[in-house]
Structure 1
Amino acid sequence: MTKKTFLAVAATFLLISGSTTTAVAETDSAASRPISAWSPSMTIGGPNFTDRTLRMVVHPSVGGAALRVHLSNLRGTTPLAVGAVSLALQADRATAVESSRRTVTFSHARTLTIPAGKEVVSDPVPLPVRAEQNLLVSLYLPQATSSATWHSDAFDVSYLSKPGDHAADTDDGNYVAATTSWYYLSGLDVVAPATRGTVVAFGDSITDGYNTPASVYHRWPDDLARRLAGPHPAAVVDAGIGGNRVLTDVPNIWQGVSALARFGHDALAQPGVRTVILMEGINDIGTNAGPGGVPLTAQHLIDGYRELIRQAHAAGVRILGGTMLPDKGAGYYSEPAEAIRQAANAWIRTSGQFDGVVDFDRALQDPSDPAALRAGFDSGDHLHPNEAGMQAMADAVDLRLLNS
């Protein structure tokens, strides 16, 4: 990209950075609109930090010529002081490709304070990246923080430094600890002229990738992104949260507010979003968590799905319904719970309310016992798929539903 071209892209990027993007905006030019390429859903309840640098891995679903970083204090209760942010291509673990390191600014400033309950988006960063080419985002936190806005189950490795600002370090010598969570880092946008918008995979721990190995990117949204690769790819964002429920917040706060409460932010506000694939409800069923503390019914779930469909269509976004996976043998399973799952899945398949259906249930069920996962797709807990099961979920998506 020439300097003149990048400046033109950056100018358009800055004009739209303060807005909430729902469907691909008709006024955006295809060559310059921001596309969400990676964006974990954030919750409250993370640890505190003082005078430390966090170095986190980002695995973008599509490539692009310029990047924007999203930082979030959305679930925080006190202002968050940020002393430095850098971006680089990953060489190995916490080591960056030296020539790729870039300082990230926000409204042209290298330091900032993010108020409680707020998020910020960086200025465009001129760093070309390929699809699935890992990036390192380093975040220096000079002052004591309160409970972090985070994504607990990253299934990726993040790195924590010894005291001090190590955002500009190229090697990993000052990074002395590792974790498998993301902190304050809530998104990466790319300028990707050939990309056909963003697909948001919205759900619970199954979408989040529970029981898949760290840093191998074999969650079903990752596998779907690879199916959508090519000259005109679509980005895929994973908006799964372990333990999340459709109708009610989870008492364990790090598992997040309900799907109804977070859908507008985590799905519909993603830059470039065109389609959402919704698969959620098994945690409502397994905990018998109906609205207002009453026992759950299938109609409660259906009413929740109708509301999510209404929100999506009001935003001009298509929404596909994913049937819930079988779970016989798991702690959630009982005959009354199975009856609710079957009734909700039947409504997803036949109501015609969704813009399309992805029948994950039939793709992964055991042919000899449809209430159970097929053994070759079971991670061992009879609830979460293994890597083969995740691929089978991605393969169950009719790509024609995403290309229309």
Structure 2
Amino acid sequence: MNTWTAAWTASPQLPSTGFTPNWSQEGFSDHTLRQIVRVTAAGDQLRIRLSNAYGTAPLHISGATVGHSAGGAAVTGARPVTFGGRTTAAVGAHGQLTSDPVDLPVARLDAVTVTLQLTGTTGPATFHAQGFTDTFRADGDQLADTTGEPFTEHTQSWYYLAGIDVSGADRTDAVVLFGDSITDGFGSTPNADHRYSDALAALTDRPVLNAGIGGNLVLNDSAWYGERSSARFHRDALDLPGVSTVVLLEGLNDLGYSEAHDQPTYKPAPVVTAEQLIAGYRTLIRQAHARGVRIVGATVLPFKGTTHWGHHSAKTGAEVNDWIRESGEFDAVVDFHRLLADPADPDVLNPAYAYEDGLHPNDAGYRVMAEAVAPLL
């Protein structure tokens, strides 16, 4: 029997407008969809996981292949993907489907191309908004194409593809990075694999899985930014095959959304206390420990001068960070707040590590984060 290890993942979201243009609300109709992801575990076989978590009708797959990326939408060595021995499949409304094993050897950090043929009309699509990697589509049946030339449209989101698992991996003790847009990689260079998860994958031989959702909250659901952390923690982290460690970096949006009064997508944005946010962290700690999974707590990064900053969020954020550092309830702690602070003001993100909004790190900041986490694994 195969032992499977998650090698790549993306957390499913409701169809929404998102941060950049995407196809989630319009869905697909007689399209071929081609997506490129980078796996963080080697294996001699792989399987794909498809999610229709937010679909209200079955998703019909007319065909699928997986191969090695040859740059852009081009692919080499493509193999057919089957589901229960069939080349077609239906993913039930609100459901997930895992493919049969595919004999396609992959190395760590290989770029893998997954192509889905969607002959019918899908309706709004379960997706992951912030992929920071081009996804391509073409009209009609282009499943057999290897050149990529028919794939003239692209966005930077992922659709229906929730994960890739491998068998035969050298390491099966995967690390999940769980959080919001900082974990997701906002501010990193698109199509360059410069997220903090990418940097960490280059520093360790363990599989590294990115379970960030931009805008996500610890305590509240959001139609734009996903279900609250405790509602998605099992699906997006603990249930992934091979997971042994979670790094939790979340809470900035709970602190800051109530300070930004002109952002309708931030609603609901109740004013939360340190005690409420700590209770949310404790829920995740209990869930992880109940599964025998180690959980590393990360302090909230400096955010003074951003849309999330105000008297209440500043005070509460300091209290929460002190608790993360001093409570001893996490199995280990990484202090991103101190590590990425401006030497001239500890509440400001160091300009050397800051994206233009002052809220998110840049590529250099994400590398520093990864370097701090790697020794704790």
For this structure pair, what is the TM-score category when the shorter chain's length is used for normalisation? over 0.9
Give the corresponding residue for 1:241: 213
2:62 paired residue among 78, 83, 88: 83
Residue aligning to 1:21: none
> 1:160 touches 1:178 (CA, 8 Å); kept in 2?
yes
Deviations 1:156-205 (A, max 9, x none): 0010102x221221111221211111000000011244214110000000
Match of 1:257 among 221, 227, 233: 227
- Trace 1:165-314 onto structure 2 (pairs within 5 A): 165-228=141-204, 233-250=205-222, 253-288=223-258, 294-314=270-290
Task: Give the whole-Å Cα distance in 2 for the aligned partners of 1:247 and 1:146.
Answer: 30
2:269 and 2:347 map into 1 onto residues whose CA distance is 27
Asked if 1:110 corresponds to 2:82, the answer is no
Misfit runs of 4+, over 3 Å:
291-294
- Cα 1:292–1:58, aligned 2, differ >3 Å: closer, same or farther? closer
Question: Which residue identity does 2:66 align to in structure 1?
Answer: L
Residue deviations 1:207-240 (CA, integer Å, cap 9, x gap): 1000111111111011011110xxxx20000000
Contact 1:84/1:165 (8 A) holds in 2:
no
How many positions carry a matched residue from both structures? 362
**Contact 1:276 1:317 (C-alpha < 8 Å) held by counterparts:** yes
- Report the identity percentage: 43
> Residues 83 and 110 from structure 1, CA distance in 2 versus in 1: closer, same or farther, beyond 3 angstroms?
same
Q: Counterpart amino acid of 1:267? A: A
Which of 138, 150, 164 is equivalent to 1:161? 138
Does the Cα contact within 8 Å between 2:176 and 2:209 map onto a contact in 1? yes
Q: Distance in 2 between matches of 1:76 and 1:348?
A: 37
340 and 172 in structure 1: CA distance in 2 versus 1, 3 angstrom threshold: same
Which string of whole-angstrom CA distances, capped at 9 and with x for unpartnered residues, describes residues 240-279 of structure 1? 00000000012xx241111111001101011100000000
For residues 288 and 34 of structure 1, do their structure 2 counterparts lie closer, same or farther at Cα, with a shift above 3 Å needed? same
* Structure 2 residue 47 is the aligned partner of structure 1 residue 71: no
Report the RMSD for the aligned CA atoms in angstroms: 1.6
Gaps of 5+ in 1: 1-11, 14-32
Distance 2:224 2:144 in 1: 31
The amino acid that maps onto 1:139 is L
Q: How does 1:129-140 map to 2 (within 5 A)?
A: 129-140=106-117
Question: SS at the partner of 1:142?
Answer: strand
Residues 1:347 and 2:323 are matched in the alignment: yes
Letter in 2 for 1:82: I
Code of the residue aligned with 1:44 in structure 2: it is: L
Query: For 1:287, what is the secondary structure of its paired residue?
Result: helix
Q: Distance in 2 between matches of 1:397 and 1:192?
A: 26
Aligned twin of 1:23: none
Residues 337, 94 of structure 1: CA spacing in aligned structure 2 closer, same or farther, 3 A cutoff? same
**Are residues 293 and 388 of structure 1, via their aligned partners in 2, closer, same or farther at CA, if it must alter by over 3 Å?**
closer
Q: Contact conserved, 1:152 with 1:254, CA < 8 A, in 2?
A: no
User: Does the residue aligned with 1:361 lie in a helix, a strand or coil?
Assistant: helix
Q: Over residues 8-37 of structure 1, what are the superposed CA-to-partner deviations in whole Å (9 max), with x where a residue is unaligned?
A: xxxx13xxxxxxxxxxxxxxxxxxx21111
User: For 2:173 and 2:144, how far apart are their aligned partners in 1?
Assistant: 32
| Partner Cα separation in structure 1 for residue 143 and residue 244 of structure 2 | 34
The separation in 1 between residues aligned to 2:95 and 2:202, in whole angstroms, is 33
Q: What one-letter code is carried by the residue in structure 2 that aligns with 1:236? A: V
Question: C-alpha distance in 2, partners of 1:192/1:364?
Answer: 38
Comparing 259-268 with 185-194, which one deviates more in the overlay? 185-194
Distance 1:60 1:398, change over 3 A: closer
- Whole-angstrom distance in 2 between the partners of 1:293 and 1:219: 27
Give 1:397 shift: 1.2
Q: Which residue pairs with 2:367 in the alignment? A: 391
* 1:124 alignment partner, one of 101, 108, 114: 101
Which residue pairs with 1:363 in the alignment? 339
Distance in 1 (CA, whole Å) between partners of 2:150 and 2:66 is: 17
Answer yes or no: is the 8 Å Cα contact 1:37–1:188 preserved in 2: yes
Q: What is the one-letter code of the residue matched to 1:166?
A: Q
Q: Quick check: 2:61–2:117 contact (8 Å CA) kept in 1?
A: yes
Report matched runs for 1:40-51 at 5 Å. 40-45=10-15, 46-47=24-25, 48-51=27-30
Confirm or deny: 8 A CA contact 1:246 1:259 kept in the other structure.
yes
Q: Could you tell me how far apart the structure 1 residues matched to 2:37 and 2:318 are?
A: 37
Distance in 2 between residues matched to 1:314 and 1:292, nearest whole Å: 30
